[in-house]
Amino acid sequence: MTEPVPLLKVDSLSKRFCRETVRSLRYGVADILHDLLPVRKGDPYLRRGEFWALDQVSFTISPGEAVAIGGRNGAGKTTLLRLMAGVLKPDFGSIKLGGTVNPVIELGQGLNPMLTGRENAEIGLAWRCGDRRSIHDLVPDVAAFAELGTMFDTPVHSYSAGMRVRLAFAIAAVVPCDLMLLDEVLAVGDVRFQRKCIDHMRRHLDRGGALVLVSHNPVQMQALCRRGILLEQGRVVLEGGIEECIDQMYELQRDDRPAAREDTGQDGLVTIDALRICSADGGTTIASGAPAFLEIAFTAHQRVSTRCSFVICGRDVSIRIASLSEPDISVVEAGSHVRRCHIPNLPLAHGIFGLQASVMDPETLIQHAGKGYDTAPVEFRVEEPLSRSSLLTRYSGQMLWIDHVWIAEPENCIPAGFEIAEAGSDIVRLDGSIWPVAELTLPKSGAE
C-alpha cells in the first residue's frame, strides 16, 4: 500500500533574527541583493548579533492529520507558523505545500473598528480568497458562524473583545482550504462557541484537510491532535504522540529549582545531616498510590529529648499538604540517629513536591534543627502512568490522588427494602455501611 502524499513537507527549515535594529536593516539589504544574484546559498551560519529562531526543523503532515506544536514562550512556534503561511521567508531549508493554506495568526488584528462586521468580513474574505463571487456567497456563512445577530451590521468599535475574536475566527473558518494554521486562537467566546470551533476543525479533518495548532492548552491539543512536535530554542526536541509531547512540555515549563542554602541547627543541640524520600525498594522514583518511606538522619551533640516531624508541601512551599509527626518522645544520646516514617499508600498525584523536616523539643515544640523552612525544601517527584486523563489532572494542578471505586451500573446500588443474599462478594459503600451486592432479592412481602 502506497503512503499518502504529504500535504506539507518542512525540510531543514532555519530562520535567523538579529538583536540589533540597525545591523538587522543592513543584513536585510544584503539578503535582498544576495537573492537577486545567482549565488548558491552555503551552509547555515550566523552573522554577528544574530540567533537562530528556528534551526534545522523538519517534519511532514499528511491529509487528515492534525499536529500540535508545543514549547515554551520563545521556542519558535509562531515563527514556524509564519514561515508556513508565507509571512516570513526562510533563510535556509524549504517548505513544500501540496494545497492551499489558511493562516489564523494574531486573531482580530486586521479588523477595522470603523467598519461594520459585514464590511470587515468582505475585506477579510477578499484577502483570503480573492474571488468576488465567493465573497458574496461566504458572507452569510460568516454571519451564521460568528452568531453576532444584528451586531453584524454595527461598527466593530462597539463590539466586546469576545465579539471581535469571534468575528475574526469566523472570517478565517469559512474559507475552504487544505491546511489550516492556528496560533492560540481556540480560546474564543464562551464554552459553547469554543466547542463549535473544535467541531468545525474536526469536520475539516474529516474532509481530508489538515491543521497545525500552536497552543499551551492541553485540553485543546488533545481534543484535535494525535501527534505533537515540541520545540525548544528553535529545535525539534520531540516528535511523537500528543500525550508524550504534552508531558515533556510540562517538564520544560517547570520553574528553575530554588538555590539551596546551608542548613544549620537552631540551638546547636542537633544538626540534620540528610533528608530523603524513597520507594519501598529504596529507589528514588515514587509512584502515586504506592508505598513510600520518609527518612531523616541527624546528629545530636549531647543527650537531648526529640520529636521528629515531616511536612509534605507544594514545590514553592506555599501549600502545606500534610504534616507527619513522631507520636513518641525519644531521648537520644550524643551521636548519629535515623528516623523513618512509612506511608502505605502515597496519595499524591503526578508532580513535583517539597519535603521539609524538623527535630523539635517535645515540650515546647521549638525546633532544635530544621531543613527546608529557611532553606530550599528537598524536592521529590511522584510518577503515575501517562494517559489522557492524567494529563488533564496535571494541567489542572491536582495534588492529591484519592482511592475510590466507581459503581458501574445504577442497579448495583442498594435500594430501600431490598434484602441481601448471602452469596456475593462485590462490595459497595452506602451511607457508611458495607454491602455485598452480587445478588439482590425483593422483599418477601413485596409483589412478585
Print the SS3 string covering 371-411: ECCCCCCEEEEEECCCCHHHHHHHHHCCCECCCCCCCCCHH
Q: Enumerate the β-bridge partners of residue 371.
A: 357
Q: What is the pLDDT of residue 379?
A: 87
Nearest to 309 by CA among 240, 366, 263, 347: 366
Q: Are 12 and 58 in contact (CB under 8 A)?
A: yes
Question: Percent of the chain beyond pLDDT 70?
Answer: 82
Diameter over CA atoms, the chain: 100
DSSP, collapsed to helix, strand or coil, labels residue 78 as helix
Q: Does the structure show a pLDDT above 60 at 424?
A: no
Question: Could you write out the DSSP letters of every residue in 207-247?
Answer: TT-EEEEE-S-HHHHHHH-SEEEEEETTEEEEEEEHHHHHH
Q: Does the structure show a pLDDT above 90 at 334?
A: yes
Q: Are 125 and 135 in contact (CB under 8 A)?
A: yes
Give the model confidence (pLDDT) of 190-239 as tens digits. 677 888 888 888 899 998 899 999 888 777 788 888 899 999 999 999 99
Confidence of residue 95 (pLDDT cuts 50, 70, 90): very high
Residue 71 corresponds to which cell in the numbers above?
Answer: 514549547
Nearest to 52 by CA among 28, 76, 29: 76
Q: Are 107 and 182 in contact (CB under 8 A)?
A: no
Distance CA 195, CA 212 (A): 18
pTM of the shown model = 0.65
Whose cell is 543527650? That residue is 303
Helices 388-396 and 242-252 pack at an angle, to 10 degrees, of: 30
The more confident residue out of 395 and 438 is 395
Q: Are 121 and 142 in contact (CB under 8 A)?
A: yes
DSSP, collapsed to helix, strand or coil, labels residue 206 as helix
Q: What is the pLDDT of residue 98?
A: 86
Distance CA 339, CA 298 (A): 9
Q: Does the structure show a pLDDT above 80 at 261?
A: no
3-state helix, strand, coil in the chain (%, to 5): 25, 35, 40
How far is residue 315 CA from its own chain's centroid?
17
Q: Are 44 and 51 in contact (CB under 8 A)?
A: no
Residue 306 corresponds to which cell in the numbers above?
Answer: 526529640
Strand 101-104 versus strand 179-183 pairing type? parallel
Confidence of residue 3 (pLDDT cuts 50, 70, 90): low
The more confident residue out of 186 and 8 is 8
